Amino acid sequence: MAEYKRDEKVAFNGKKVEILGSTFEEGKPETPMNWRKKLRNREEILAYLKTGERYWFSDEWVGSEKRKTKA
């Protein structure tokens, strides 16, 4: 198992706790992904945007998206 960097922070109750630091390797991918190319036509783009609006601004929450309080 790889050794991860650990940081020491102060918790909300004032006690010092040890947390796991960053676990990723810094850098850029060899071939960057352009997610917009995955949307092939206007209908897919509109569907993507409508889904995002429903997620952030709708009152019709279902399943795991359901919140007790509004965002």
Alpha-carbon span 4 to 23, nearest angstrom: 6
Could you identify the residue written with the tokens 């783009």? Answer: 45
Read off the amino acid at residue 13. N
Prediction pTM value = 0.36
What is the pLDDT, as a whole number, of residue 59?
Answer: 67
Q: Which residue has the higher pLDDT, 3 or 47?
A: 47
pLDDT in tens, 44-66: 988 888 887 776 766 665 555 56
Tokens of 22: 């960053």
Cα separations (Å) of 53 from 2, 17, 26, 34, 58?
Answer: 40, 38, 32, 21, 7
Task: Specify the 3-state DSSP secondary structure of 20.
Answer: strand
